[in-house]
Amino acid sequence: MSIPEISVHELALRLADHDPNLQLIDVREPEEVAIASVANFTILPLSQYQEWSPTIATQFNPQAETLVICHHGMRSLQMCQWLQSQGFTNVKNINGGIDAYALLVDPNIPRY
């Protein structure tokens, strides 16, 4: 099953809408998030999978739109695939990750 993607420009528009039903997940490591981040993302590092995975379906609504980000888009793609396998029906990978967001949308976000 293919994973839908959204561009960082579309992400910026969606964030500006302040949709309370939009779920935002960042799968980068805490030290990466400390360097560069976008507000309102829940941090779920893939390396800490054992800690957060048992509660994913209670922490998030499996039917709500869920956008996932990482550094460039590969780890977030893995997370999207896993979320789908857990019954999430509306997940999207943020194409290019936070690096593209910093480059194309918000130059105040540090690149690493």
Token pair in block for residue 18: 């302040």
Catalytic one among 25, 70, 79, 98?
70
Distance set, CA 112 to CA 30, 40, 77, 94 (Å): 14, 20, 20, 17
- The verdict on whether 70 is a catalytic residue reads yes
The catalytic residues are 70
